[in-house]
Amino acid sequence: MKQLNELNLLDKKYIIFDMDGTLIDSIGVWNLTDKKLIEEYSGKCFDLETIQTERDKFLHNNESSDIYIEYCKYLIEKNNLSIKNPKELLNARWKKSGEILENEIDFKDDVASLIFRLKELGFILVLATMTTKVQLDIYSKKNKKMLSKMNIDDIFDLITDMSDVTNKKPNPEIYLKVMEYYNAKPSECLVFEDSYTGVLASNKAGIEVVNIYDKYADVDRKKINELADYSIEGYDEFLEFVNDTFKGSVKVKK
């Protein structure tokens, strides 16, 4: 892994962010949601760490475009849930998680400051996430904590989500589509990711990637450190690097 001061930010034009776990602290929501669903429809009780470990394992080994339906099928079969229709379980999952996503989720520290600074400097900002449009609408229209800091619909030049691709990360399709859209070279792009699958997707697309620390990705920390080009503990660290790089009248190359 390289040091952050080795990153040639002056040659970048497109800054691409993942959403869940990268821009926002949201991964824990799904642990709690799945725990409640399993308890409600099976009577079984699992700790949150076990639930996350099993979900991570499933996600790593499944590249279906309809990943949420496939995961609900997995939950039903593995835990012998009383609810047998994956679509019904998926709807229950959205409903149970919706209130938390709307009222409790927030951006990670210093995200808005960094995004506004990058925008000011002339970077093209892209959101490339396997999040659904339903979730994105919650973040951009209903979540007051997030809206008080910035609106993702207004700030990002392009937003791509799971409905725009056939293959989920770690397949690089979502990043390849972004580059195709802008006719961009990998060397002109920089990705921010929290997870191993995201870092791997960026790696496969040939784009340099900054890993932003998220505790829920610790299970894959060794693999992440082996693949990521750069690593930061928080966005304040990268904001300082940006300000040191773009001193005076320096602007992004057009």
Phi, psi of 157 (to 5 degrees): -75, -30
Answer yes or no: is pLDDT of 65 > 90.
Answer: no
Instruction: Fill in the DSSP letter of residue 66.
Output: T
Whole-prediction pTM value?
A: 0.82
Average pLDDT over residues 197-204: 96
**Distance of CA 71 to CAs 68, 74, 157, Å?**
5, 5, 31
pLDDT at 29: 86
Sign for the pseudo-dihedral over CA of 27, 33, 36, 40: negative
DSSP 201-231: HHHHHT-EEEEEP-GGGGGGHHHHHHH-SEE
pLDDT at 104: 83
Average pLDDT over residues 214-225: 91
- How confident is residue 253, by pLDDT bands cut at 50, 70 and 90? low
Of 3-17, 40-54, 85-99, the range with the highest mean pLDDT is 3-17
Q: Are 166 and 196 in contact (CB under 8 A)?
A: no
Residue 160 identity: T
Sign for the pseudo-dihedral over CA of 241, 28, 130, 120: negative
Lowest mean pLDDT across 100-109, 170-179, 181-190, 231-240: 100-109
Tokens of 72: 């609900």
Collapse the DSSP code of 64 into the 3-class scheme (helix H, G, I; strand E, B; otherwise coil) and give the result. Answer: coil
Nearest to 108 by CA among 12, 248, 215, 231: 215
Answer yes or no: is pLDDT of 254 > 60.
Answer: no
- How confident is residue 48, by pLDDT bands cut at 50, 70 and 90? confident
Torsion of CA 74, 77, 82, 84, to 10 degrees: 70
pLDDT at 100: 82
What is the rounded CA–CA span in Å between residue 89 and residue 86? 5
DSSP 95-148: HHHHHHHHHT--BPTTHHHHHHHHHHHT-EEEEE-S--HHHHHIIIII-HHHHT
Express each pLDDT in 129-152 by its tens digit.
998 898 899 999 999 999 999 999
Average pLDDT over residues 9-13: 95
pLDDT at 64: 66
Instruction: Fill in the DSSP letter of residue 20.
Output: B
SS3 annotation, 144-188: HHHHCCCCHHHHCCEEECHHHCCCCCCCCHHHHHHHHHHCCCHHH
Express each pLDDT in 90-132 by its tens digit.
999 988 888 888 988 999 999 999 999 999 999 999 999 998 8
CA 49 to chain centre: 20
Tokens of 94: 């959205």
Q: Which residues, 6+ apart, have CB-to-CB distance to 63 below 8 Å?
A: 167, 168, 170, 171
Percent of the chain with pLDDT over 70: 96
